[in-house]
Amino acid sequence: METMERNYNIVFVTPEMMIPELEEPACEANFRGGLGILSGDIMEGLTKRGINAKAIVPFYDLNWVTREKINYDKTSAQFLFELSPQINGRRDSINIWKINRAGTELFGLHCPDILNVLYTADRWQRLRQEVLIGHTVPALLKKLEIRPDIVWLQEGHTATVIPAMKEDSYFNGEKFLFTTHTSCPEGMEKFYGGWVNELGIKEKYHHNIFIRNGLIDMTWAAMSLADGVTAVSDEHCEVTKRMFPDFAGKVVGIRNGLSRDLWLSPRIKMIENNFNPYNLWEAQQADKKEFIDFIERKTRIKFNSRKPLLGWVRRIAWYKNQYPMLAPVIRAICAERGEFVDTDYGRLEGLGIQVFSAGRAHESDAQCLGWMAEFERWMSDPHLAGKFIFRPEYNLELLKNSARGCDIWFNCPLLGWEACGASDQRAAENGRINLTPRTGGAREYIEEFNPATGKGNGFFLEPYHPITIYNKLKTVSDLYYAWIEKGKDLWLKLCMGAFESGKSLDIVDMIAKYEQIFEKLLKK
| pLDDT tens-digit readout, 134-193 | 999 999 999 999 999 999 999 999 999 999 999 999 999 999 999 999 988 888 999 999
Residue 377 CB burial class (10 angstroms; 0-12, 13-18, ≥19): exposed
One domain, residues 499 and 519: no
- 482: in domain: yes
Q: How far is CA 279 from the centre of its chain?
A: 30
Is 254 within a domain? no
Domain assignment present for residue 404? The answer is yes
Give the pLDDT of residue 7. 76
**Shared domain check, 369 and 277:** yes
- Angle in degrees, 0-180, between the axes of helices 490-502 and 277-299, rounded to the nearest 10: 80
Position 2 pLDDT exceeds 80: no
The Cα–Cα gap between 16 and 439 comes to 25
Question: What is each CA distance from 166 to 90, 240, 338, in whole angstroms?
Answer: 21, 25, 68
pLDDT digits (tens, 9 = 90+) for 354-364: 999 999 999 99
Peptide bond into 25 cis (omega under 30): yes
Grouping H, G, I as helix, E, B as strand and the rest as coil, residue 218 is: helix
Query: Do 159 and 90 sit in the same domain of this protein?
Result: yes
If asked whether residues 101 and 88 sit together in one domain, one would say yes
Q: How far is CA 81 from CA 21, 84, 109, in A?
A: 20, 10, 10
**Alpha-carbon distance 476 to 498, whole Å?**
13
Quick one: pLDDT band at residue 5, thresholds 50, 70, 90? low
User: Is residue 54 included in any domain, yes or no?
Assistant: yes
Give CA–CA dist 523/87, Å, rounded: 33
For position 229, what pLDDT does the model report?
A: 98
Which residue type sits at 236?
A: H
- Longest CA–CA separation in the chain, Å: 74
For residue 395, what are the β-bridge partners? none
**Residue 1 above 80 pLDDT?**
no
> Is 234 a domain residue?
no
Judge whether residue 469 has pLDDT over 80: yes
For residue 272, what pLDDT is reported?
A: 82
pLDDT at 423 (0 to 100): 93
Please compute the mean of the pLDDT values over residues 87-110 and round it to a whole number: 95
pLDDT at 186: 80
**How many folded domains does the chain comprise?**
2
pLDDT band of 6, cuts 50, 70, 90? low
The secondary element (H helix, E strand) that includes residue 362 is none
Cβ contacts of 324 within 8 Å, gap of 6 or more: 466
SS3 for 135?
Answer: helix
Confidence at residue 273, expressed as pLDDT on a 0 to 100 scale: 83
Q: Indicate whether 408 and 344 sit together in one domain.
A: yes
> Would you place residue 341 in the very low, low, confident or very high pLDDT band (cuts 50, 70, 90)?
very high
Per the prediction, the chain carries an average pLDDT of: 95
Give pLDDT, residue 415. 94
Confidence (pLDDT) at 281? 97
Residue 227, Cα to own-chain centre: how many angstroms?
Answer: 25
- Per DSSP, 72 falls in state G
Whether residues 147 and 47 share a domain: the answer is yes
For residue 437, whether the previous peptide bond is cis, meaning omega lies within 30 degrees of 0, is no
CATH number at residue 266: 3.40.50.2000
Do residues 340 and 455 both lie within one domain?
yes
Residues 203 and 328 grouped into a single domain: no
Between CA 87 and CA 198 the distance in angstroms is 9
**Domain that residue 68 falls in:** 9-229+508-523
User: In terms of Cα–Cα distance, which of 135, 152, 125 is closest to 17?
Assistant: 152
Q: What is the pLDDT of residue 274?
A: 85
C-alpha to C-alpha distance for 226 and 242, rounded to whole angstroms? 18
Return the pLDDT at 3.
52
Instruction: Give the DSSP letter of residue 121.
Output: S
The DSSP symbol for 273 reads G
Contact status, residue 66 vs residue 24, Cβ threshold 8 Å: no
Residue 237 located in a structural domain? no
Please give the share of the chain, as a percent, with pLDDT higher than 70: 99
Alpha-helix runs per DSSP H in 362-450: 366-378, 396-405, 423-429, 442-445
Q: Give the chain's radius of gyration (CA, Å).
A: 23
Mean pLDDT of 43-71: 96
3-state class (DSSP) for residue 346: strand
The confidence score (pLDDT) of residue 390 equals 97
Does residue 242 sit within a domain?
no
Query: pLDDT tens digit string along 292-314?
Result: 999 999 999 999 999 999 999 99
In a shared domain, residues 225 and 277: no
The residue count of the chain comes to 524
Residues 407, 300: one domain?
A: yes
Asked if the structure places residue 241 within a domain, the reply is no
- Helices in 335-405 by DSSP H: which ranges? 366-378, 396-405
How confident is the model over 417-463, as pLDDT tens digits?
999 999 999 999 999 999 999 999 999 999 999 999 999 999 999 99
The reply to whether 76 and 19 lie within a common domain is yes
For every residue of 480-496, DSSP letters joined together read HHHHHHH--THHHHHHH
pLDDT digits (tens, 9 = 90+) for 99-144: 999 999 999 999 999 999 999 999 999 999 999 999 999 999 999 9
Q: What is the rounded CA–CA span in Å between residue 491 and residue 483?
A: 6
Rounded (5°) CA angle 462-464-467: 90
User: Which residues face 142 on adjacent strands?
Assistant: none
Question: In whole angstroms, what is the distance from residue 447 CA to residue 453 CA?
Answer: 13
Question: Are residues 267 and 224 both part of a single domain?
Answer: no
Three-class SS state of 204: helix
- Residues 211-217: contacts with CB within 8 Å, 24+ apart? 215/190, 215/191, 216/127, 216/189, 216/190, 216/191, 216/192, 217/156, 217/188, 217/189, 217/190
H-helix or E-strand containing 311?
strand 309-313
pLDDT at 185: 84
